[in-house]
Amino acid sequence: MTEPLWTSDEIGAVTGGRMSGVFEANGVSIDTRTLEAGDLFVALKDARDGHDFVPAAFRDGAAAALVEREVEGATGPLVIVDDALEALGKLAAASRARTSAKVIGVTGSVGKTGVKEMLRAALSPSGPTHAAEKSFNNHWGVPLTLARMPRGAAFAAVEMGMNHAGEIGPLSRLGKPDVAIITTIAPVHMASFERVEQIADAKAEIFEGLAPGGVAVLNLDNAYFEQLAEKARAANAKIVTFGEADGADARIDSVRVASAATVVKGELHGRPLVFKIGAPGAHLAMNAMAALAAVDAAGGDLAKATLALGQWRTPEGRGSRWRIALGEAGIDGEITLIDESYNANPTSARAALAVLGAAPTTDNVGRIDRGRRVAFIGDMLELGPREMEMHAELASAPELKDIDTVHTCGTLTLSLHASLPNEKKGKHYPSSAEMAAEAGRRLDAGDVAMVKGSLGSKMAVVVDAIRRMGTAQRDNGREGGA
């Protein structure tokens, strides 16, 4: 019989809550839309009050609900506490304390979720591996991830994000990572910071909870490496570096991007490495090296990890690819869609444009003889006082060289639209909804489309509109070329 994730006795002892029944929980949920039978439902107060959904949680099979008050219509056991979020944090701390899992914390300006997902894939062959299903990296996401960690986990990858200084420190102290990765430092969330150096300090808070003898995995190529290394040394961390620079512990020698994969050659602590990543993108090589350095530091099997990365795929909204078959059984050809709609900043936008620029098109299958590479770009948010200028600078990025057309939408991308060379300038739309309404008219069989924007720009509606042009199928990679 499978051991429960939590018993009512454990939850009562950890949270100090008042119990109205005996139960066992096999999971923890904060959302009735994804709740599974047997979950403990935690009624958090955020945009909406979770207490309003307690009756629905029980109808969907919740084992119990952790609440701050009695709830009318509740048909199962309640755990009543003073503060539900604080109680979730206590469950997280208890979960971390009872496990022998090696925990890897991941932060950085870009690449956090990708590295977390690479770690999930790369560590799984070495033992049971736990990681959040989504980008749960904030003040409730990290506690939820930890509270869900199975007792028998051997490894855990925990993403830690922030919008302001002082946010990552408490998450790190809760997660107590054995290994801490900082992917890179870039001008992201500049609305909350005056200088990029302050972002580096905020990301370095991940070392505050680092376990004794812990390892800091740092990007040697990044301009803020020394600043981060100083913080790591102050936390008595062992520093392991990755990058293309001479002297990196996990060093990239060469990267070859094919249509469905990326091949990387390099070395780790002097040992030669040659491996494939199951998705195209030169920027993925850096993420993979960070992940492999962390796998090695956590005691995982490096050979199995490199093989697993060959099966890794980009997460939804972060470079996932779709094939859109046009007409019945694709008789009218197909369009390739690269979905980058979950997040955006200048660094990740350039990486996405590089991937689009390298994507193969198909000629002589549509109304237009030549297949094109078409970018649909929405506003990049939280960039601070230079936001308009930073959008405009994207127009001169070398990664635009192989892009045929750039369509834009929103307020900030007006500066990008105005700065684009005439031969690449597409149409500007006031909103993503208006762009979505015309997206089908801007594409033809043989084209490759890439949709990029911050989550708040709502570019997912453009992705949906393109997928509705035909029969959409997730492209998990094609044979050849790698």
Q: Is the pLDDT of residue 356 over 60?
A: yes
- Residues 378, 78: Cα–Cα separation, whole Å: 44
Q: Residues with Cβ < 8 Å from 277, sequence gap 6 or more?
A: 261, 262, 263, 264, 284, 285, 288, 309, 310, 312
- Short-list 45, 100, 66, 478, CA closest to 259: 478
- Min mean pLDDT across 13-22, 165-174, 209-218, 310-319 is at 310-319
At residue 319, the pLDDT reads 86
Q: Is the pLDDT of residue 482 over 90?
A: no
**Mean pLDDT: which of 194-198, 329-333, 477-481 is highest?**
194-198
Reported pTM: 0.87
**More confident call, 342 vs 123:** 123
At 387, the pLDDT band (50, 70, 90 cuts) reads very high
- Asked if 68 and 84 touch (Cβ cutoff 8 Å), the reply is yes
Q: Is the pLDDT of residue 55 over 50?
A: yes
For the chain, helix (H) and strand (E) counts, in that order, are 15, 23
Region 314-323: mean pLDDT is: 87
DSSP letters spanning 396-434: G-GGGTT--EEEEESSTHHHHHHHS-TTTEEEEESSHHH
Region 256-280: mean pLDDT is: 93
At residue 382, the pLDDT reads 87
At 480, the pLDDT band (50, 70, 90 cuts) reads very low
At residue 328, the pLDDT reads 85
Label the pairing between strands 320-325 and 334-340. antiparallel
State what percent of residues in the chain have pLDDT above 90: 85
Encode burial over 63-83: b for 16+ CB neighbours within 10 A, e otherwise. Answer: bbbbbbeebeebebbbbbbee
At 295, the pLDDT band (50, 70, 90 cuts) reads very high
Average pLDDT of the chain? Answer: 94
Q: Is the pLDDT of residue 46 over 90?
A: no
Q: Tell me: the pLDDT tens digits for 408-453?
A: 999 999 999 999 999 999 999 999 999 999 999 999 999 999 999 9
Q: Is the pLDDT of residue 107 over 70?
A: yes
At residue 477, the pLDDT reads 56
Label the pairing between strands 448-452 and 373-377. parallel
End-to-end CA distance of the chain: 44
At residue 479, the pLDDT reads 34
At residue 129, the pLDDT reads 98
At residue 1, the pLDDT reads 54
At residue 306, the pLDDT reads 97
Q: Residues with Cβ < 8 Å from 1, sequence gap 6 or more?
A: none
What does each C-alpha distance from 261 to 155, 373, 391, 463 come to in angstroms?
Answer: 26, 18, 29, 22
Q: Is the pLDDT of residue 217 over 90?
A: yes
Q: Is the pLDDT of residue 315 over 90?
A: no
Q: Is the pLDDT of residue 481 over 60?
A: no
Q: Is the pLDDT of residue 111 over 80?
A: yes
